[in-house]
Amino acid sequence: MIGAVALAGALFAAAPAQADSASPAPAAPKTAKSAPKGDGAKAICKRLPKTQTRITTAINRLNGDVTVPGSVARLEQRVANAQTAGHTEVHTYLNDRLTFRKSLLPTLQKRQDDLKSVSTWCSAQGSK
């Protein structure tokens, strides 16, 4: 009985060493994929309605009032509240987020305009 316990203990002690030596060699680095063969126009045209919806939703959210989570107005209110409460670090953090969020609006509006042109092109190609 004691021999069985000693043998089991020896096996458990050796198991991690065996696991390390039995592990496969590190994977070879992946080879570079080939360059794209096209511009992905077919896929862009296929996803166009969903992309337009997502951008419109994001713009509407950013332009929402104080009651809309994610709106510029709501974050402006939070910045003002942090300043009033004297929470300098929180005010700085939220103000930086506000600056970024305000910069999103022109970017999304530009993308929305670009997608109108893409939509026209897809319609002309019969891809839409």
39-65 tens-digit pLDDT: 888 999 999 999 999 999 999 999 999
Q: What's the pLDDT at 125?
A: 86
Give the pLDDT mean for 80-104.
97
Do the beta carbons of residue 91 and residue 100 sit within 8 Å? no
pTM of the model: 0.66
Q: What's the pLDDT at 128?
A: 47
Secondary structure letter of residue 86 according to DSSP: T
Whether 28 shows a pLDDT value over 70: the answer reads: no
| Residues whose CB falls within 8 Å of the CB of residue 94, separated by 6 or more in sequence, listed in order | 75, 78, 79, 82
Q: What's the pLDDT at 39?
A: 86
In angstroms, rounded to a whole number, what is the distance separating the alpha carbons of residues 128 and 61? 27
